[in-house]
Amino acid sequence: MCHEGCLNCMLRWKLWIRPLFILLYALAALVFVPLFLVKSLEDGFNKHDQEILIGGVFVWVAIPLSLWEIIQHVTHYVQPKLQKHVIRILWMVPIYAINAWLGLIYPEQSVVVDSLRECYEAFVIYNFMIFLLNYLNMEMDLEASLELKPQVKHIFPLCCLPEWEMGRPFVYTCKHGILQYTIIRPLTTAISIVCKSYNVYGDGEFKASVAFPYLLIVDNISQFLAMYCLVMFYKASAAELRPMKPLPKFLCIKAVVFFSFFQGVLIQFAVYFEIIKAGPDSDQDGLSLSTRLQDFLICIEMCLASIAHHYSFSYEQYLTAESPSRGQSCFYSFLAMWDMSDVRTDVREHLGIVSSSISRRIRGKSMYSIPRGEDEYSNLVSPRMPNSMPNPGYYQNENDDTIIVNYGTVNSSQPAKVHASSST
């Protein structure tokens, strides 16, 4: 009888998980906050302790709001192709908040602590782009729709660039323009950690003898290209994205990722040129001051971001009349959240396309000069087995071990295009 009662209780976990979560969170606050105050008072409760306390209040408000929204998506996992990427985006707030707060507590380890946050911001941009692609391809043939649209013009200051051909070339240019940041950002982060270990990084120092200004330039260019591709894609597909209410989602991504990045750069400039100075009683140098200011502001901003994410990426918008009432099991949803096979496949495809496009551009051929038709997807992705064709409606593959990527291949059953020239 007792065993059956426990089993029934576990099966009805959705009824008691929220009160239990709130109770445990309240107990943790009642235990750790007094301990921190007592220790801080013993040390004199200096400005550093005040920053940690104030930042911690905002962080420990932001984390439960974000985690609760993530849990709601996991328990109502009815549209996996979309919600998988939404969940990854929602993890941005807890990761940013915890990293920033740890940076306040351990400022001497700021380069190492911030590395995860820097890598995850590139991962968030990638997931947002795939989220948009999957949403559009659920409703239409995106490439065919873009081919019928007027040419999208470049935006200042890149208005002098050659126009991106509408259709497949436009989609893949935007996708791989964003994907390059997903690769470059972790590389520059790893280089910064290595340089830090050899004392040649020079965080916040704009000198030719340290690595910091060079890595900052590379990160700025890479992030600008990613942001530009995202804006161009939104400009081309704004009408199709309107039912999803994309503007709040775009603002959330840009505010957290791009604004926080350039905010840090501005703070480093201001501290380096002594526009912002440490107080006379401060025992921190300029480098620590810029790091502390950035981490403290992020702690506050993540609390605001968690509220914005609650409304912009709510699970309720995926509960349609056609969707199942419960969705997939929570265990499957949790495992799918951590499955990175799609990222590995896209990165591999990106590297292959970059190397292939270099040779094709040299020969004057388009990177995506594949004729459209009923087998157009098979021109890009060829199954290893006869019946292993992935779903062509999405820009990621369920099993990266069952496909190979072809670049520039043409189905022999399709007639070749003949360009007739008029004779004089």
Percent of residues, the chain, with pLDDT higher than 70:
67
Confirm whether 1 is domain-assigned: no
User: What is the distance between the alpha carbons of residues 213 and 287, in angstroms, rounded to a whole number?
Assistant: 14
- Give how many domains the chain has, as a whole number: 2
**Residue 190 and residue 266 share a domain:** yes
pLDDT at 90: 92
Confirm whether 270 is domain-assigned: yes
Confirm whether 79 is domain-assigned: yes
Burial class, 158, CB count within 10 angstroms (exposed 0-12 / middle 13-18 / buried 19+): exposed
With a cut of 70, say whether residue 387 has pLDDT above it: no
Mean pLDDT across the stretch 4-33? 68
Give the amino acid at 18: R
Confirm whether 48 is domain-assigned: yes
**Residue 292 and residue 274 share a domain:** yes
Which domain, by its residues, includes 370? 341-405
pLDDT at 86: 92
**Residue 237 and residue 167 share a domain:** yes
Please state the pTM of the whole predicted model. 0.74
Confirm whether 216 is domain-assigned: yes
CA separation, residue 293 to residues 36, 37, 103, 110, 205 (Å): 21, 22, 10, 12, 16
**Residue 225 and residue 369 share a domain:** no
Confirm whether 31 is domain-assigned: no
**Residue 279 and residue 136 share a domain:** yes
Length of the chain, please?
424
Burial class, 11, CB count within 10 angstroms (exposed 0-12 / middle 13-18 / buried 19+): exposed
Q: How many C-beta atoms lie closer than 10 Å to residue 279's C-beta?
A: 9
Confirm whether 420 is domain-assigned: no
Mean pLDDT of the chain: 75
Q: Tens digit of pLDDT for each residue in 313-324?
A: 988 888 765 555
**Residue 363 and residue 222 share a domain:** no
**Residue 376 and residue 289 share a domain:** no
Q: How many CA atoms lie within 13 A of 74 on its CB side?
A: 19
**CATH number of the structural domain spanning residue 136:** 1.20.1070
Q: How many C-beta atoms lie closer than 10 Å to residue 131's C-beta?
A: 24
Structure tokens at 159: 């208005």
CA separation, residue 399 to residues 132, 340, 403 (Å): 21, 11, 8
Mean pLDDT across the stretch 348-360? 70
**Residue 393 and residue 262 share a domain:** no
Confirm whether 4 is domain-assigned: no
Bridge partner residues of 381 (DSSP): 405
**Residue 387 and residue 238 share a domain:** no
**Residue 140 and residue 80 share a domain:** yes
pLDDT band at 91 (very low <50, low <70, confident <90, very high): very high
Q: Which residue has the higher pLDDT, 370 or 232?
A: 232
**Residue 266 and residue 146 share a domain:** yes
Q: If you search the block for the tokens 């071990």, which residue do you land on?
A: 401
Report the interhelical angle of 92-105 vs 286-312 (nearest 10°): 160
